[in-house]
């Protein structure tokens, strides 16, 4: 079985299990989506949603966070991992948006990735889920699953993103990114499947007997 055949198995299974893919991070607008994605680094979406549900009704624009200042932002997000670093990024990001973009979130990868605290993966999520632009955000879990399913050689997340974009038509990218996230959380967990128990793993590699060792991102 080659990688194109495995890609078809993946797509068929994911479309069947997850015909709809709601965005897991709760947000009120593209700016709050950007903030939530930034806050989700090294943190679960559930934790981020629990924190932001009390923030976004009152603070949901860049100028709101500029007026709050770093220390107050820290207090608001204290229960989130590395909250001081994230508060600094949220403040500087908001300030940049106010001063350079009239409070609007820019619509290009280049401009997004120049914002404080925003890397390629965060920019990809915003472009995909916020603006509907075809993108394929790859985090460490998607990177791991792509290796287990034989869709990439797993050198790093950059290579994995290129391989996934090559294997799947562009029209599927935005939905597929979310489908893989949902499937990984439910069936192909980091410390449970190991490439030998979930339906996609066993379909792609029916003869695999030993746990799959994945390369770190």
206 vs 5: CA distance, rounded Å:
13
Task: Please indicate whether residue 121 is annotated as part of the active site.
Answer: yes
- Active-site annotation holder among 53, 86, 139, 213: 139
91 Cα distance to chain centroid: 21
129 to 54, 84, 101, 136, 216: CA distances (angstroms): 22, 26, 20, 10, 26
Find the catalytic residue in 75, 121, 156, 170: 121
Three-class HEC string of 117-160: CCCHHHHHHHHHHHCCCCCCCCCHHHHHHHHHCCCCCCCCHHHH
Residue 201 half-sphere exposure, CB side, CA atoms within 13 Å?
Answer: 22
213 is catalytic: no
- For residue 110, count other CB atoms closer than 10 A to its CB: 8
> Which amino acids are annotated catalytic?
121, 139
């Amino acid at each position: 079985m080659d990688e194109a055949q495995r890609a078809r198995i993946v797509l068929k299974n994911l479309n069947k299990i997850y015909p709809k893919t709601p965005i897991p991070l709760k947000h009120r607008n593209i700016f709050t989506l950007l903030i939530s994605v930034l806050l989700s680094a090294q943190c679960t979406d559930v934790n981020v949603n629990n924190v932001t549900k009390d923030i976004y009704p009152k603070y949901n624009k860049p100028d709101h966070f500029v007026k709050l200042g770093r220390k107050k932002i820290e207090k608001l997000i204290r229960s989130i991992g590395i909250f001081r670093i994230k508060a600094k990024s949220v403040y500087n990001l908001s300030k940049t948006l106010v001063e350079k973009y009239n409070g609007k979130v820019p619509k290009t990868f280049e401009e997004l990735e120049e914002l404080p605290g925003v890397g390629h993966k965060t920019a990809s999520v915003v472009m995909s889920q916020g603006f509907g632009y075809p993108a394929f955000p790859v985090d460490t879990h998607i990177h791991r699953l792509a290796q287990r399913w034989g869709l990439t050689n797993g050198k790093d997340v950059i290579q994995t993103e290129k391989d996934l974009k090559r294997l799947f038509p562009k029209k599927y990218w935005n939905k597929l990114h979310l489908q893989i996230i949902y499937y990984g959380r439910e069936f192909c967990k980091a410390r449970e499947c190991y490439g030998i128990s979930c339906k996609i793993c066993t379909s792609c590699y029916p003869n695999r007997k030993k746990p799959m060792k994945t390369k770190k991102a």
